[in-house]
Structure 1
Amino acid sequence: MGDAKMEHGKKKVKKRGRSAVFWLLTFLILMVIFLVCAQWSYRYVIESATERAEGTPITIAPQEGISVDIPLGSGTESIAKILKDKGIIRYPFIFKIISKFEGYDGYYKSGVHILKKGLTYQQIMKILTANPERSPSVKVTIPEGYTYKQIADLLAKKGVVDREKFDEVANNYDFDFDFIDDIPEGRKYRLEGYLFPDTYEFDPKAGEAAAIKKMLTRFNEMITESEYKRMEKLGMTLDEVIIIASLIEREAKVSSERPIISGVIHNRLNSKDPSMRKLQIDATIQYIFLNEQGSVKEVLLTEDTKIDHPYNTYKHEGLPPGPISSPGEDSIRAALYPEGDYLFYVQKEDGTGEHYFTKTYDEHLSAMDKAKKNKQSKE
């Protein structure tokens, strides 16, 4: 019986000994983990503090890095996912922890940032809280006399706009300009003539409305109070002036002739003779071909002047229903200040681009004969 008690006591001592060893080992393991974590945290804090203290901006050349676009309103979690998807970081969870620990949450800036693989989390955060890279602008020159379609196609080709979206915005967007409200309804291209020709710097990321607004703003700057007073004196609307200016832009080859061509148009419009009020301007026929077939004809034939179309000024009296191009400043001024008392003009066909201007139909026939001879002599 005594031996049994002693045996039982030995078992208790062994259990207590094993328990003490277990807790000692656990304690030692926890201490090691604690020391490792403390050392890691210390190094992290020191490196982070040093990096912050240095304050040197981190710049990466676009050709050497990866463009990362952070959408407006993105939180740390969504940013971490974007970085993971781009291969910049491996562990989004760690990025979120460090971001919160460092106090970067809420300070990341939307836009395009240039990053690369191999950066520390602190470096990534430093870049993302700095100002984003400016979107590369695209310089585009809109030539005077371009039509709406030509402008839209050019901007699409340059990567500034999406072609289909451009049409949708141009025809339906509510631009905050008074002159837009005065454009008659029903035109296929609402802004034909109003996208002012000039050299622009476009931001491809800004969208179609921004690109159009830039051109409309430039147009609005050109039409000052002085121009509106002149229109009132002429008894014309802005839209009528722009239609005439668009005709001048497409007809004039020599700048000095713009006011004289304008005079011919004004004189015919004001004529009491119905036949004179048919402007018979070739550029309106070419506008039909350009919009419907994509190109102008090298030589217009008599049959072309018989096309049944609202823009055919050989068939219909007065101005066409809308502008046929985007006129420049000189053509707009010429439309407002016509010169001369001529009723006809015909191109000389001598390579200069100049015209013969005449007052009577007989003189016009003689001028046409001269032009024909000039063309034959050149051939």
Structure 2
Amino acid sequence: MHIAMVTSTSIPPEEGIGYYTYNLSKELKQRDHQVTIVTRGGLRGETKTYDGIKVERVTYVPAYPFHVDLHGAFVNRRLRALDPDIVHTHTPLTPVVDIDTPLVSTIHTSVVEDANETDSLTLGALAHRIVTYVTSKRMIAAQAESATELATVAHSVKDELADHFGLTDVHVVGNGVNISEFDGAEETDEQFGLFVGRLSYRKGIADLIDAWERLPEEQRVPLKIVGKGPLRKQLEERVSGTSLAEDISFLGHLPRADLVRLYQQATLFVVPSHYEGLPTVLLEAMAAKTAVVSTAVSGALDVIKDGKNGVLVPARAPEEMSKAILELLRHPEYRRNLAVRGRETVEREYTWNAVTDRYLDLYEASMNV
């Protein structure tokens, strides 16, 4: 079977939906399916190959607010030339597919809730929020109309799609990780907390920094923040000149091997988001047998059973987050138990093998419509 994946994210991936698309593609290739990823390029398109997967970077012109529609003309022309058996789109901001081929669309977020958690404190940020909201909502509605099968990653997102778009026939397929990638951890005596993700408003990183500041100084361990994004300078300025300056480090984007090592060696992992679909980083930390503290939002509610395989805290509540972090730092046996059960949860429900099985069922159903 030839599957054309369509995404708006960079490949090789640097963030969650990119990793989702790429890892699913690799698993499908291992099962002898042909996969082509179609994504944004520059003014000139180009074709690259990564891990045996062909990546078509199609012409993209950032002419807001018409960028997605313009890109769509090039995407559809390329898809017609590829002539796949299935097209599989991954929102947000993927163009509407207009070819006579079965279409599966994975809607990773409802956009409505996502846009509500975007910084609108500056005129530029507000304009970006409005354009993203209007464009994405229109694209989701159009894709839902043309798709033969709809999927999403979490039950909370499925509920949002029903509330905001009236979509009820949506399959929850979940997210996945490569379990074996996190085996064989190196021993370390270093203690530190870890955050991995885009440095943007809805990720709640300012709340995490506030929570870290509330920790007693004698029990405060270093916090390593991995990722890049528009808030990096602002967050660094927040930390600079305070008692946190020696404790919190911003590491930017890291090579995959270095990131996996941090997952394995971290004392605890924190997901402070105001909104998420089902974050890959949450599952990766659990796969690495690292205890997790997460805000009780969206996909995290599908995965974490509070006090059993992780800890849930309210969003936008730095004081509650700080208490949960301190509890884990003070009680290593509790921390280890959460870590072991977290790994068991991922092994049972969130492997790429399981996710790919679900998608292959959807592909078959889509082709038989």
TM range (shorter): under 0.3
State the TM-score, normalized to the length of structure 1: 0.18
More helix by share: 1
* Larger gyration radius, structure 1 or structure 2: 1
RCO higher in 1 or 2 (8 Å CA, sep ≥ 6)?
A: 2
